Amino acid sequence: MPDNLKTGVIKRTKSDIILNSTYQEMAEHYDTAVIPTRVRKPKDKAAVEGAVGFVSTWIIAALRNWKFFGLKELNDAIAEKLEELNNKPFQKRQGSRISVFLEDEAPMLLPLPDRPYELSEWKVCVVAYNYHISVEKMFYSVPHTYIKQEVDVRITSRIVEVFFKGDRIASHVRKMGKPGQYTTLDDHMPPDHKNFSKWNAERFRSWARGIGSNTLVVVNSIFASRKVEQQGYRTCMALLKLGDKYSHQRLEAACKRALSYTTSPNFKTVQTILATGQDALPDEERAHIKPASNHGFTRGSAYYDTKGTHGNGGGS
């Protein structure tokens, strides 16, 4: 029965008690109920508070003039005084503190759990469209049916657990090391993604090579623009879906058109070409279409002609 400490008790009303998740988890681990005192009700506090104060004062007073030259020496002296206090008879009742413990309290004690309590951290995440959550810059899968849902995540030194409305929906061994690592279970994938779970960069290149040389160049460009190979998987997967949507022939033509704009085309460029139908235009018409500039409005050479009458700085 603790006070309403801010780090442990989130809310305490007449009808509701909400504890800090970690605090509640520790209490459940030791099969203990935490019932905070009512606000401004000092009689709710257990008698143990006064007992702790008495014990501390009694031992400190007995040792106040002693000198110690090591921590072990101090602890031994405290243990000796504590044993003396526990065996000291009560003044107004029969027995002593040790006799009350052995007769009344010891039989009520529960055995400790088989495993020690492990401190954990809780956070709220939203499941991304790729059915993964981000935890400490690592990515862990959850069943794809929970996409866009808020989930509670419990993080320990070894485990990452995911809960939805109190039910555990996923559990992973916690990743360590280089950020950006993915942990994905096949059971969490949508059916159409399971076919690609074992893909790597070489398999993407093999697929692109089967469509055409220009598509292969675009895939290589995507991987070259990423520091980590796995970061390019989703982009290449999206490129794959463009081939399914528009046909492989159009995808190859769009990649060829994108390479005429830049030596390092990206997915968005290819997608725009396909969406606007530029891949199907004859070469003569293509020549009249200028690619979008990356620098906004650019003044032509005539603007800087000091011999003409353009602008405010005409020739002299």
- Looking at the domain assignment, is residue 184 inside a domain? yes
Cβ neighbours of 186 (radius 10 Å):
10
Distances (CA, A) of 115 to 50, 94, 162, 171: 33, 39, 21, 19
- Residue 211's domain comprises 199-286
- Looking at the domain assignment, is residue 312 inside a domain? no
Residue after which a domain boundary falls, among 59, 78, 108: 108
- Are residue 146 and residue 215 in the same domain, yes or no? no
The values of phi and psi at residue 300, to 5°, are -75, 175
Residues of the chain with pLDDT under 70: 192-199, 228, 230, 283-316
- Are residue 246 and residue 173 in the same domain, yes or no? no
Q: What is the pLDDT of residue 170?
A: 96
Distances (CA, A) of 27 to 21, 24, 111, 155: 10, 5, 14, 17
- Looking at the domain assignment, is residue 182 inside a domain? yes
- Are residue 13 and residue 73 in the same domain, yes or no? yes
- Looking at the domain assignment, is residue 125 inside a domain? yes
Residue type, 138: M
Residue after which a domain boundary falls, among 49, 79, 108: 108
Question: How many structural domains are present in the chain?
Answer: 3
Cα separation of 8 and 19, whole Å?
6
Q: What is the pLDDT of residue 159?
A: 94
The b-or-e profile of 265-299 (16+ CB within 10 A means b, else e) is bebebbbebbeeebbebeeeeeeeeeeeeeeeeee
- Looking at the domain assignment, is residue 291 inside a domain? no
pLDDT tens track for 174-198: 999 988 888 989 889 887 666 555 6
Cβ-contact 1, 37 below 8 angstroms: yes
- Looking at the domain assignment, is residue 214 inside a domain? yes
Q: What is the pLDDT of residue 279?
A: 84
Residue after which a domain boundary falls, among 172, 193, 214: 193
- Looking at the domain assignment, is residue 257 inside a domain? yes
Residue type, 230: Q
Cα separation of 232 and 309, whole Å?
51
DSSP summary character for residue 253: H
- Looking at the domain assignment, is residue 248 inside a domain? yes
pTM of the model: 0.48
Burial of 24 (0-12, 13-18, 19+ CB in 10 A): middle
- Are residue 233 and residue 281 in the same domain, yes or no? yes
